[in-house]
Amino acid sequence: MSMDSFLFWFLAFITIASAVTVVTITNPIYSALALAMTMVGVSAIFVTLGAYFLAGVQLIVYAGAVTVLFVMVLMLFDLKHELSAFSRGQISGTIKVATAAALAGLLIGAIVWTVSGFERVVSKPAAPDSADGMRELSHALFTKYVFGFEVLGILLLIIAVGVVALARAKGGTHAQR
């Protein structure tokens, strides 16, 4: 069992386990922490895929900012164990689970069916030197995808303003008590 395959299985296990925790555990705080764990796992997976920069960004953005936001909000709300964490109704629940299962089956089936045909041929090529990889990435980002980049910048600006406005609004959606 070679190094990288071991790494992969290990990380996959951690990621999926923490993801399951996110979904199943009833205390939102814990699920937030599990989410952070998942993010770390995902970034590690990025590392195994040779996307070092993305791994770092993943940590900074998701683990460092987004999930921290979640945690802070949860702590502000001071939510303890919630009694009805999952939506009521056996029928709808079963339907939902069945749908999810069907989707999973379809996706995995599709992947296996499609990729296994050339799995032998397309095994992982040698990882590019990370510096070169990053140069390539940034070059593509600022030449080929510069428009999307700008648009995203504008989007972020708008969202910053909107979020500030939302947070400023007294009493949320219904201003008058």
Partner 1 sequence: MPNVDTSLAAEALARPETQTQIESLDLIAHSATLGVGLSHYLILSAILFVLGMIGVLMRRNAIVMLMSIELMLNAVNISFVAFSRFQNLIDGQIMVFFVMTIAAAEAAVGLAILVAIFKRFREVNIRFFEHLRG
Partner 2 sequence: MSPQLLFATLILAPLLGFLINGARYRKHSAEVAGGIATGAAAISFISALAIFFQLLDLPAEERRVAVQFFDWIRVADLKIPAGFVIDQISGIMILVVTGVGSLIHLFSISYMHHDKGVAKYFAYLNLFLFNMILLVLGDSLPVMFVGWEGVGLCSYLLIGFWFTDKEKAAAGMKAFVTNRIGDAAFILGMFILFLHFGTLNFQELNRMVPVDPSLAWFGPIGLGTLLLFIGATGKSAQIPLYVWLPDAMAGPTPVSALIHAATMVTAGVYMIVRMNPLFLAAPNTMMVIASIGALTAVMAASIGLTQWDIKKVLAYSTVSQLGYMFLACGVGAFGAALFHLMTHAFFKALMFLGSGSVIHAMHEEQDIRKMGGLKKYMPVTHLTFLLGWLAIIGMPPFAGFFSKDEILWMAFHSPRGHILFWILGFVGALMTAFYMTRLMALTFWGESRVDKKIHPHESPLLMKIPLIVLALLSVVGGWIGVPHVIGSLLPGEPHNILEHWLEPVVKSVPGMEAGDPTLEWSLMGASVFFAAIAAAVAYHFYVRNPSQPKKIAEALGGFYRLVFNKYRIDELYAATLIRPLIKASQGLWFYVDVNFIDKATFVTADLVRGGGLFVRGLQNGNIQRYALYVAFGVVVSLSFILLR
Partner 3 sequence: MGNDAVEIAINTIKLVVCFLLIVQAVPVLVWLERRGSAFIQNRFGPNRIGPLGLMQLLADAVKFLHKEEFAPAKAVKFLYYAAPVVALVPATLAFAAIPLGAPVHWDQYVFPLQGYEVSVGIVFVLAVSSLAAYAILLAGWGSGNKYALLGALRASAQVISYELALGLAIVGIIMTYGTFNFGEMIHAQEGPLHFSFMGHELVLGFLPNWGIFYQPLGALIFFAASFAESNRLPFDLAEGEAELVAGFHVEYGGFKMLLFFIGEYGHMIVASALMATFFFGGYGLGFMTLAELSASVATVVQDPNIVSLVTSLITFAVFSVKLAVFLWIFIHVRWTLPRFRYDQLMDLGWKTMLPWALFNTILTATLIYVGHL
User: Residues in the site for partner 3, rule: CB under 8 A?
Assistant: 29, 33, 36, 43, 52-53, 55-60, 63-65, 68, 71-72, 75-76, 129-131, 134
Q: Which residue has the tokens 């600022």?
A: 142
Smallest separation, CB 170 to partner 3 (Å)? 19
Classify 174 as helix, strand or coil: coil
Please identify, using beta-carbon distances, which residue of 24 and 99 lies nearer to partner 2: 99
**CB-based contacts of 60, cutoff 8 Å, min separation 6:** none
Please identify, using beta-carbon distances, which residue of 109 and 128 lies nearer to partner 2: 109
Q: What is the amino acid identity at position 158?
A: I
Please identify, using beta-carbon distances, which residue of 95 and 146 lies nearer to partner 2: 95
DSSP state of 50: T
Q: What are phi and psi of 171, to 5 degrees?
A: 65, 20
Map the footprint of partner 2 across residues 71-130, applying CB under 8 A. Answer: 87, 92, 95-96, 99-100, 102-103, 106-107, 109-110, 113
- Binding status of residue 131 toward partner 2 by CB under 8 A: no
> What is the distance of C-alpha 163 from the center of its chain?
21
Q: What is the amino acid identity at position 62?
A: Y
Smallest separation, CB 35 to partner 2 (Å)? 19
Q: Which residues bind partner 2 (CB under 8 A)?
A: 87, 92, 95-96, 99-100, 102-103, 106-107, 109-110, 113
